[in-house]
Structure 1
Amino acid sequence: MAPPPGAGKRVKGVQITRPFIYGTTARPFDEKTNPKPAGVPDDHTHSWTVFVKGVDDTDITYWLRRVQFKLHESIPNHVRVVEAEPGKPFEVHETGWGEFEITLKLYYVSESSEKPQTLYQFLRLHPYGRTEEEKEAMRLQQSGEVISWVYEEQIFNEPYEPFYEILTSGALPPPNAPKGKGKAQFEQRRTEGGVLERSALIPLHNRPGQPFSRETEQLEVKKLKEATAKVQKMAAEMAEQLRKKEERLRELKAEAGVGTA
């Protein structure tokens, strides 16, 4: 397939990754902490937001130009399109009473010449988890907010030359990029070919409102390793039990003379 006009050639053998977050945040209406605005229907119980943004609120509009949010058809103007504004997340604010699946369609900057990507996110209005303890922990940690966030990494395989330049030419962070320890930063580094590359980093540690970090990643890796070890131990125990049962079965058969001449 020929590249789109003006797209140039693809940069062979190159893969560039950009992290981002998408999801929903909901809060129940409360007279003190979250009063219901005038004009909101009586049966609406929560205010909520669906969004796409950078990790630690870093700017992602240099590669993402538009997000289409398709809400439940019962909501007026249920298809919302949010255009890029540097330094701001792509988000829609609404109120309601029910949970449903939201379709998110990501449109990249025109220089990418890439097709839009579709994601799906379920709106959560109520605490969820495997146990009541997990639900309560979520409720306490988020001060009544119910978050349903997904960490994602956008992978651009062999991007077209103009888009590659956008992704790699900006060695310095944009003016609104956060600075300081623990913040997501842009770094300068040389690739093997000597090209200066811009890369969004993930924070080293968690902080309030920002649950995704290298610390979180390491905790998840630890959980996976512990779960793997537990499964392997269980499998070994079951194999040993099976071996003993088969051995006992052979003994019983021998005692009963089954299988002997």
Structure 2
Amino acid sequence: MAPPAGKRVKGVQVFRPFVYGTTARPFDEKTNPKPPGVPDDHTHSWMVFVKGIDDVDVTYWLRRVQFKLHESIPNHVRMIEGEKGKPFQIHETGWGEFEITIKLYYVPESGEKPQTLYHHLRLHPYGRTEEEKETMRLNGGEVISWVYEEQIFNEPYEAFYDVLTSGALPIPGAAASKAGGKGKGSAKGKEQEAQRSEGGVLERSAMIPMTNRPGQPFSRETEQLEVKKLQEAMMKVQEMTKKMAVELEKKNQRMQELRAESVKTA
């Protein structure tokens, strides 16, 4: 693809957050019945997707996404074209886990080559602890394997820079739809609406929510919890290191005592 006309914006980085991953659920007669025509050996329904944080539109910078599934699945290489306000996603059924190749194709203004991501489809509960696994089992067996990612555009072309930074657009249905006049319907009111203080995400912005919401696990709150877990883990490692150093010192002293005794008896 020929690069777009214009110069690059030197010394500038623009990043846009997004989420990709899979969600799987075991078939169950009451909560997730198996659709007609699904093979008998298929045990789960699952979905793979790429979407914006808080479900905002990402099609202004992401044009299409290619999903490469396991070769045993019919039509295993699928290209999903972007539709404004909709995620790039595929729904399937199966019985086994495998690696999915996800290829991102950007809009023509970007002049960027496609990027490839890899994601492992998870059908069964997993986690760092048994408690995390049990939480998935109690949640109707739904297995969520999502990844937060930030797409970084280094020194984008001027035309693409304009596309990326043309202003935050309200989430459909989130902004008040009052016509003309003063207040929220006015230009100033709309500008104030776009500057949402609670941390809600707006299109063409790099913000993420301040707190978690149902179906939206990525937020500043989640980030802080992960930082806290890392800090606690580091403290445990430091304590273990100190204990090992003390034990090692005791062993060295004992070795020196044994050597001294050996010399005396020689």
Task: Output the TM-score relative to the length of structure 2.
Answer: 0.84
Alpha-carbon distance in structure 2 between the residues aligned to 1:177 and 1:111: 28
How has the CA–CA distance of structure 1 residues 132 and 245 changed in structure 2, closer, same or farther, with 3 Å as cutoff? closer
Task: Confirm or deny: 8 A CA contact 1:87 1:177 kept in the other structure.
Answer: no
5+ residue gaps in structure 2?
A: 176-195
Matched residue of 1:234: which SS?
Answer: helix
What whole-Å deviation, never above 9, does each CA across 1:13-71 have from its counterpart, x for those lacking one? Answer: 11111111101111112222112222222222211110000111111111101000011
| Root-mean-square deviation (Å) | 2.3
Higher strand share: 1
Distance 2:170 2:114 in 1: 25
Q: For residue 195 of structure 1, what is the aligned residue in structure 2?
A: none
Shift of 1:233: 1.7
What stretches of structure 1 of length at least 5 have no aligned partner? Answer: 188-197
Match of 1:233? 239
The runs of at least 4 aligned residues of structure 1 exceeding 4 Å deviation read 177-183
Q: Contact 1:61–1:86 (CA<8 Å) still a contact in 2? A: yes
Instruction: Give the count of matched residue pairs.
Output: 245
CA shift at 1:178, angstroms? 4.5
SS in 2 for 1:257: helix
Q: What SS does the aligned partner of 1:199 have?
A: coil
1:215 aligned to which of 204, 209, 221? 221
Q: TM-score normalized by structure 1? A: 0.86
Change (3 A) 1:203 1:256: same
Tell me, in whole angstroms, the C-alpha distance in 2 between the residues paired with 1:84 and 1:36: 29
Q: How does 1:59-208 map to 2 (within 5 A)?
A: 59-140=57-138, 142-169=139-166, 171-174=167-170, 176=172, 178=174, 184-186=200-202, 198-208=204-214
Percent identical among aligned pairs is: 74
SS at match of 1:104: strand
- The 3 A distance-change label for structure 1 pair 182 and 90 is farther
Cα distance between partner residues in 2 of 1:131 and 1:122: 19
Instruction: From the superposition, tell whether residues 77 and 53 of structure 1 become closer, same or farther in structure 2 (CA, over 3 Å).
Output: same
**Match of residue 248 from structure 1:** 254
Is this contact kept in 1: 2:56–2:202, CA < 8 A? no
Deviations 1:167-196 (A, max 9, x none): 112x23156274678663239xxxxxxxxx
